[in-house]
Each structure stands twice: as structure tokens, then as C-alpha cells.
């Protein structure tokens, strides 16, 4: 199971619920051992994954939207799985073109395409959560009222 552990700065900048994202991503990114992946803001103009430290650094200057963050996480988590499965994988390229056209990057960009669906699931959960609060489903006020009325009729 993957556990996303964002820094306070990432949480503040994005406003996202990373526990919910962890839950959603864990439904289809199957890892049998518990793997904590730290998420930090990147100071560079790109996002990256550091396999030895299990850290994803996200360039939040490019965006903080749900879509951007999810796409970036999917991309970098794919690299995490690549390293985990193919231990001899390398990420040191001589040119941008070599990097961009590498099998690892093509695979990670393809995995990013799940972002739209992951965002729909995330937004669906948030919608249910909001309705739960709006309609006060954590309260049984109406039910208690009904029970009180019924019990009065019995007296």
C-alpha cells in the first residue's frame, strides 16, 4: 500500500485531502508492502522522484490544481513502480530528447492519462462528503423526533 505523506507546505498550497488521494490511488496501484512516499515542493522548474529517499518533489509553480497534482503524482508514482520492479532502471540522460523519448518517460506519461478519472473519483467523494454535512447525516434528529412522538402515543 502506498501512503502519501505531503509536507505542510504542499497541503497548504494545494488544499487537497491527501488521505483521500492515498485511498483512491491504493485501489489500483497495488503494492503489497507499506510504502511511505514523501511529497515536497520542488525548487526547480520540474517535478521529480528520488527513489533512494522515496520522495516526490512537485513543482507547484506550474500549478496547484487537483488535475495537475494528480497527474504529477501518477507520473512520479509510475517511476516509483518502475524502480521497484526493474531495479536496474536508470534516469540519467545526456539530452532532453533522450530523456523525453525514453521508455520510462513514455510509460509514465501514459500512466498520467488516468488523472481525469482519478479526479472524478476524488470529486465524487468530496461531493458526498459535502452532502453528508449539508443534510446532517451524522445526526439522527429526525429519527429521534419520530421515536419521541411514537413513544408518547404509547403512554
Question: pLDDT value at position 142?
Answer: 66
Residue 148 has pLDDT above 70, yes or no: no
Question: pLDDT value at position 143?
Answer: 64
Question: pLDDT value at position 1?
Answer: 87
The pLDDT tens digits for 41-80 are 999 889 999 888 999 999 999 999 999 999 999 999 999 9
The pLDDT tens digits for 4-46 are 999 999 999 999 999 999 999 999 998 888 899 999 999 988 9
Of all residues in the chain, what percent carry a pLDDT higher than 90?
65
Take residue 90 and report the three cell numbers written for it.
536508470
Residue 150 has pLDDT above 60, yes or no: no
| Rounded (10°) angle between helices 18-26 and 115-134 | 130
The pLDDT tens digits for 77-124 are 999 999 988 887 777 889 999 999 999 999 999 999 999 999 999 999
Question: pLDDT value at position 147?
Answer: 47
Question: pLDDT value at position 154?
Answer: 47
Amino acid at each position: 500500500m502506498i501512503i502519501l505523506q505531503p509536507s505542510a507546505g504542499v497541503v497548504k498550497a494545494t488544499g487537497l485531502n491527501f488521505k483521500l488521494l492515498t485511498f483512491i490511488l491504493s485501489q489500483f496501484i497495488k503494492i503489497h508492502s507499506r510504502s511511505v512516499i514523501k511529497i515536497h515542493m520542488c525548487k526547480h522548474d520540474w517535478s521529480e522522484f528520488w527513489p533512494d529517499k522515496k520522495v516526490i518533489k512537485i513543482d507547484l509553480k506550474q500549478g496547484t490544481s487537483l488535475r495537475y497534482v494528480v497527474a504529477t503524482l501518477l507520473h512520479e508514482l509510475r517511476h516509483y513502480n518502475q524502480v521497484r520492479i526493474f531495479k536496474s532502471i536508470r534516469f540519467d540522460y545526456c539530452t532532453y530528447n533522450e530523456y523525453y523519448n525514453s521508455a520510462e518517460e513514455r510509460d509514465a506519461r501514459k500512466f498520467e492519462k488516468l488523472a481525469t478519472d482519478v479526479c472524478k473519483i476524488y470529486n465524487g467523494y468530496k461531493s458526498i462528503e459535502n452532502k453528508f454535512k449539508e443534510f446532517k447525516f451524522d445526526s439522527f434528529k429526525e429519527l429521534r423526533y419520530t421515536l419521541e412522538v411514537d413513544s408518547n402515543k404509547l403512554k
